[in-house]
Structure 1
Amino acid sequence: MKLFPKARFKPAVIAAALLMAATLASAPSLNAQSANLPSFGGSGGLIAGQQEASIGQQVMTSIRRSAPQIEDPLVYDYLNNIIYRLVPSAPLDNRNLSLVLIDSPALNAFAVPGGVVGVNGGLFLNAATEQQFASVLAHELAHLSQRHFARRMEQNETSAPLTLAGMIAGIVLSAVTQSDIGIAAIAGTQALALQNMLAYSRAHEQEADRVGMDILASAGMDPRGMPEMFEIMMRQNRLQGNQMPEYLSTHPLTQSRVADTQNRAEQYPSKRVQDGQEYHLMRSRLQVHYANSAEAAVEIFESYLNRDDVQHHDAIRYGLAVAYQQNKQLVNAEQILRDLLDKNPGRITFQVTLAEVLADQKRYEDARTLLQSALARNPGNYPITWSLANIEIADGNGAAAANYLKDLSRQRPSGDQIWLRLAEAEGMARNIVGVHRARAEYEVLMGNLRSAQRQLRQAQEKLPAGSAERQVVNERLSDIASRLQETNRS
């Protein structure tokens, strides 16, 4: 069983993204001269809260269509947990965030209006500690809380008005590929405006540093992780020469800023915070994911274990188990995972990975028993439930898989892959109405409202008049019709 797809940046992906950019850039302009725009932050400006939510939705749609994403539920669950450990300490008006895991080994993260926070897989590779990793997230939450992107737009509105749709396309393309490709997708003078707005000002960066370090300290994490992470970025920048890390193209970093964060960090109470083990487990998973091959990953992790100064020993052993799994050395993987579970009974990451190894050996009943027991102790857990659904599909039990996936769809209605997998499970169970309904929700998330409408009409035709399910379908059709009318008006 594949842990998660190895998506790479391919010409087809870039071409699709560029096509979307051209479409979005030709959308009706929402420039600074529009008299109907509500004010931002109560002081006049380009973006108000409602518009920010709309931007966030459109950015997520664009990312789903164009960006290679990491679909691994264990990594996503970790990211969700660490973000929401920080959120209570962040001065955010809207704490309902949308998280994105971009499948790229480059060091990058971003936050855009509407509460979208994106992280490249490469951030795990470059941040040696959880405190360093969390510092980047806290910095991005600080940008969101201070509405720096919108303030940047306000500063540029008189000299370089930018369409809202073009801005969205540029943000997404810059996150998905390279900044210059995203900028090139926006025609004329808008390209320069976008380039200016993608790069935060020195004042905004300093403010995000200060607010981000306060967030870290308040959340019980170590603010010293921020200057440590900046040092890593500076070192990488020196090593790469002209090819700076993507993150630094939008977050300018100087030696004086590093020194300023170091001085500021020393003003917090002196206490070292222990990393959670889960961070290093996820880091190992992604090191396997980005290895040149499964065989190379095995060699890397075996060499780690042979070092005298090995740190995070269990995380390294776990990485070796994942590498063995990918390299089809399933007996070796199982042995390591059972040893780890003996030392850490109940750790979900070990249970889910062991169940996947058992399923790879077609030992579905063993895998099912292990995960059902884990789910009973952790009701609603996303990685456990997702893995159980996959095991049921592999074992030909579509109806059972559909039940698990319906539970997940209620927890994460914005999870496009959940709806796609649910459609597959319903098809296996020969529930054609269920296929159409799940497929419709997937199409909505992908921005294909007319396709969603067609799917729901097909479901409607197969349901008896007056049935409760037909009423639900009718209500969803009405909602989509309203959204289509709004789209046509704009």
Structure 2
Amino acid sequence: MAGFLFWATMTSAAQAQEASLPSIGGSGGGLISGQQESEIGQQVMISIRRSSPRITDPLVYDYLNAVLYRLVPYAPLQDRDLTLVLIDSPAINAFAVPGGIVGVNGGLFLNAATEQQFASVLAHELAHLSQRHFARRLDQQEASTPLTIAGMIAGIVLSAVTQSDIGIAAIAGTQALAVQNMLAYSRAHEQEADRVGLEILATAGMDPRGMPQMFEIMMRQNRLQGNQVPEYLSTHPLTQSRVADTRNRAEQYPDQTIRDSQEYHLIRSRLQVHYAASPELAVKTFEAYLNRPDAEHHDAIRYGLAVAYLRNGQLSKAETLIRELLATNPQRITFQVTLAEILIEQKQLDAARTLMLDALARNPGNYPITSTLVDVEIAAGNGAVAAGRLRELTRQMPAQEYLWLRLAEAEGMARNIVGVHRARAEYDALMGDLEAAQRQLRQAQEKLPAGSAERQVVSERLAEITNRLRAQRNG
């Protein structure tokens, strides 16, 4: 993925020099307002939803959301309402987009050996967002290469969601040069993002040393790829001196032993199975890991092997491993959900339902548990129950378009045609097709009795969509 990268090149000075570092962040950025940034973010999300393969695994999403919001309270963000995007690509990449969008490739898990390294990327993204570097870079370019907001949206979308052989070069003429310049962040911006990102890590109780360690991983990958420069380094070359500078700044923080959470390594194992060339190869890989005498994170390896067995159809082996893990850690949601996945594959739906209902009673509103209960009810043919669970999830996460699509399918199974139309309308709106959303709501409205409460709700939503469509056409 040719992500819209802000973080790939980091420059540091010693902490003693911090007072002289220029203050670039804050609420400035005169050319582009916060409202415009929000609109850009919405356009980027529409393009990502339409064009990019996504990871929709609730366990992965839930972990990433948890670690992101572990950092957020310590980031100087004006708006902490962020949209999280998980791109299904094995490449190292992450991006931050105006409007509070933070995107991560699945490949970041594969390449970050520790949670501290992984979190350093998120901290740097939050730093760039908090300092509004995009708006400030745009402001700097105004005199020489002015861009319309629409043109900038096109540049962001293209760089965020297309493959690297298309990228910025596909934008014609001077706009291509201008957008390319926008991605070439200044040394001062990178210094500030580095400084702020390290501070976010430290105050969140994580190890700032994870940042230079992650840069060293990136440098090694760059050397391995030879002449094919990775996308995250194509616009911001990462040099040994920059890595050294970042390491020096990180060393100014107290030296503490900070342990990774077990959950990071469980999710990393899960994604290693996801990106394996085949389930059979994943089984062989994790069996080999388990046989190493010096194997670290032993439970995470056993968990990865259980997931590999599950994906390879070796269900009894998968169940045995997961039950062994649960015996020593019975409240671990990741183990419980994975056991339920195995039970669903074995058609033991009553057992899976009981397991998940007990887990939900201890963890009300939990996304992975609720989503797995939806899977149970869909497999059992209980569309109405599944739809009820999905309505809970769409209230919690209304911007996740795939939940609305699942809700439409569940409503169809339950023969609730109005529910199908309403869910499809929300899906279409998130995909940027307001005309289709308008049609769906009109059809729902026609099927409801006059004066009913549900018809009133549908009519109000139809009016909102119609107003947005009118504004879009007039814009």
> Quick check: TM above 0.5?
yes
Q: Which residue of the partner structure matches residue 76 of structure 2?
A: 91
Q: Does 1:215 align with 2:215?
A: no
Distance 2:290 2:146 in 1: 56
Deviation per CA, 1:40-93: give whole Å up to 9, x if none: 976662211111111111111111011111111100011100000000000000
Structure 2 residue aligned with 1:367, among 336, 341, 352? 352
Secondary structure (helix, strand or coil) at the match of 2:386 reads: helix
8 Å Cα contact 1:171/1:182 also seen in 2: no
Letter of the structure 1 residue corresponding to residue 400 of structure 2: G
Q: Does 1:470 align with 2:460?
A: no
8 Å Cα contact 1:236/1:244 also seen in 2: no
Q: Which residue of the partner structure matches residue 6 of structure 1?
A: none
Q: Which residue of the partner structure matches residue 100 of structure 1?
A: 85
Q: Which residue of the partner structure matches residue 142 of structure 1?
A: 127
Q: Does 1:396 align with 2:381?
A: yes
8 Å Cα contact 1:102/1:176 also seen in 2: no
* Structure 1 residues without counterparts, runs of 5 or longer: 1-8, 15-39
Shift of 1:245: 2.5
Deviation per CA, 1:331-359: give whole Å up to 9, x if none: 10011011111111111111111101110
Distance 2:407 2:290 in 1: 40
TM-score normalized with structure 2 length = 0.93
Larger CA deviation: 278-287 vs 155-164: 155-164
8 Å Cα contact 2:27/2:132 also seen in 1: no
Distance 1:220 1:96 in 2: 22
C-alpha distance 43-82 of structure 1, shift in aligned 2 (>3 A): closer
Q: Does 1:270 align with 2:255?
A: yes
**Would you identify which runs of 4 or more consecutive aligned residues in structure 1 move more than 4 Å?**
40-44
Q: Which residue of the partner structure matches residue 167 of structure 2?
A: 182
Structure 2 residue aligned with 1:225, among 210, 219, 236? 210
8 Å Cα contact 2:286/2:301 also seen in 1: yes
* Percent identical: 76
Q: Which residue of the partner structure matches residue 480 of structure 1?
A: 465
Q: Does 1:309 align with 2:294?
A: yes
Q: Which has the higher contact order (CA 8 A, sep 6+)?
A: 2
Q: Which residue of the partner structure matches residue 333 of structure 2?
A: 348
Distance 1:241 1:175 in 2: 24
Shift of 1:231: 0.6
Q: Does 1:162 align with 2:162?
A: no
Q: Which residue of the partner structure matches residue 242 of structure 2?
A: 257
Q: Which residue of the partner structure matches residue 421 of structure 1?
A: 406
Shift of 1:298: 0.5
8 Å Cα contact 2:315/2:346 also seen in 1: yes
* Structure 2 residues without counterparts, runs of 5 or longer: 3-24
Q: Which residue of the partner structure matches residue 367 of structure 2?
A: 382
Q: How does 1:445-460 map to 2 (within 5 A)?
A: 445-460=430-445
Letter of the structure 2 residue corresponding to residue 135 of structure 1: S
8 Å Cα contact 1:199/1:249 also seen in 2: no
TM-score normalized with structure 1 length = 0.90
Shift of 1:390: 1.3
Q: Which residue of the partner structure matches residue 10 of structure 2?
A: none
Letter of the structure 2 residue corresponding to residue 395 of structure 1: A
8 Å Cα contact 1:200/1:252 also seen in 2: no
Structure 1 residue aligned with 2:322, among 313, 337, 344? 337
Letter of the structure 1 residue corresponding to residue 386 of structure 2: A
**RMSD (CA atoms):** 1.5
Q: Which residue of the partner structure matches residue 9 of structure 2?
A: none
Distance 2:425 2:215 in 1: 44
Letter of the structure 2 residue corresponding to residue 97 of structure 1: L
Deviation per CA, 1:91-110: give whole Å up to 9, x if none: 00010000000011010001
Secondary structure (helix, strand or coil) at the match of 2:180 reads: helix
Secondary structure (helix, strand or coil) at the match of 1:100 reads: strand
Secondary structure (helix, strand or coil) at the match of 2:167 reads: helix
Distance 1:182 1:240 in 2: 19
Secondary structure (helix, strand or coil) at the match of 1:117 reads: strand
Structure 2 residue aligned with 1:110, among 95, 98, 102? 95
Larger CA deviation: 234-243 vs 85-94: 234-243
Distance 1:392 1:341 in 2: 24
Secondary structure (helix, strand or coil) at the match of 1:101 reads: strand
Letter of the structure 1 residue corresponding to residue 297 of structure 2: H
Q: Does 1:195 align with 2:186?
A: no
Q: Which residue of the partner structure matches residue 72 of structure 1?
A: 57
8 Å Cα contact 2:29/2:136 also seen in 1: no
Q: Which residue of the partner structure matches residue 152 of structure 1?
A: 137
C-alpha distance 135-384 of structure 1, shift in aligned 2 (>3 A): same
C-alpha distance 346-250 of structure 1, shift in aligned 2 (>3 A): farther
Q: Which residue of the partner structure matches residue 25 of structure 1?
A: none
Distance 1:250 1:343 in 2: 48
C-alpha distance 169-325 of structure 1, shift in aligned 2 (>3 A): farther
Letter of the structure 2 residue corresponding to residue 434 of structure 1: G
8 Å Cα contact 1:422/1:438 also seen in 2: yes
Larger CA deviation: 442-451 vs 44-53: 44-53
Q: Which residue of the partner structure matches residue 171 of structure 1?
A: 156
Q: Does 1:295 align with 2:295?
A: no
Deviation per CA, 1:122-154: give whole Å up to 9, x if none: 100000000000000000100101111111111
Deviation per CA, 1:299-346: give whole Å up to 9, x if none: 110010011110000001100011111100011001101111111111
